[in-house]
Amino acid sequence: MNGIKAILSTGIFAIIALIGQAQDVKLTVEISGDTLLAGNYFELKYTIENAPANSFDPPKLERHHIVGGPNTSTQMSFVSGEMSQSASYTYYIEPPNIGNYTIPPAYLITDEVSLEAPPIDIIVLPNPEGIVQPPHQIGKKYEQIDTAPKAEEKAKRTIKKF
């Protein structure tokens, strides 16, 4: 009797693991705005879906002043037998001076998938009157999707700009 229970338990866990593996892996980057006045900051948020949180390689932000972050948020859910998980990393960044800047790409690398978030261009305009602009709600969104490779099927890669 115990042998049957062990076999059934192992089978159920294997099915759950396979269902979790079949979910699309996504890397999304969102930004509150790509143009701002000097002395203000913007919000930059990366979200990974259906991949381990430690597989995320954030952008190199040495040229920028990080006002806050990375703030992290994780979520895992089971709905109708399907598992999904996500992790978000939010940065609040103040560019150092007036000019054009590029936030370098971030990467999501697992055994099955390698995704790259696109670089983000930021424009910082003069602010002689010292106007304070709080970051807007997240406005621009870029997403890279890679479906988990299935037997004899190549992975799809799509980048969408919203």
Q: How far apart are CA 71 and CA 59, in angstroms?
A: 14
How much is the pLDDT for 74? 94
Q: pTM of whole model > 0.85?
A: no
Residue 34 structure tokens: 């790509």
Going by C-beta distance under 8 Å and a sequence separation of 6 or more, which residues neighbour residue 1? none
DSSP reduced 3-state for 55: helix
- pLDDT at residue 158 in the model: 47
Contact 145, 55 (CB under 8 A): no
> Can you tell me whether residue 34 is helix, strand or coil?
coil
Query: How many whole angstroms separate alpha carbon 22 and alpha carbon 31?
Result: 29
Domain boundaries, the chain: 2-161
Q: Which CATH number is 2-161 given?
A: 2.60.40.10
H-helix segments, 55-130: none
- Distance between CA atoms of 118 and 107, rounded to whole angstroms? 9
Predicted pLDDT at 8? 42
Evaluate the CA torsion angle 31, 110, 116, 21 in order and state its sign: negative
pLDDT per residue of the chain (162 residues) written in tens, 0 to 9: 555 544 444 444 444 444 444 479 999 999 999 999 999 999 999 999 999 989 999 999 988 899 999 999 999 999 998 999 999 999 999 999 999 999 999 999 999 899 999 999 999 999 999 999 888 665 566 666 665 454 444 344 444 444
Nearest of 140, 136, 135, 97 to residue 119 by alpha carbon: 140
SS3 assignment, position 110: coil
Residue 70 preceded by cis peptide, ω within 30: yes
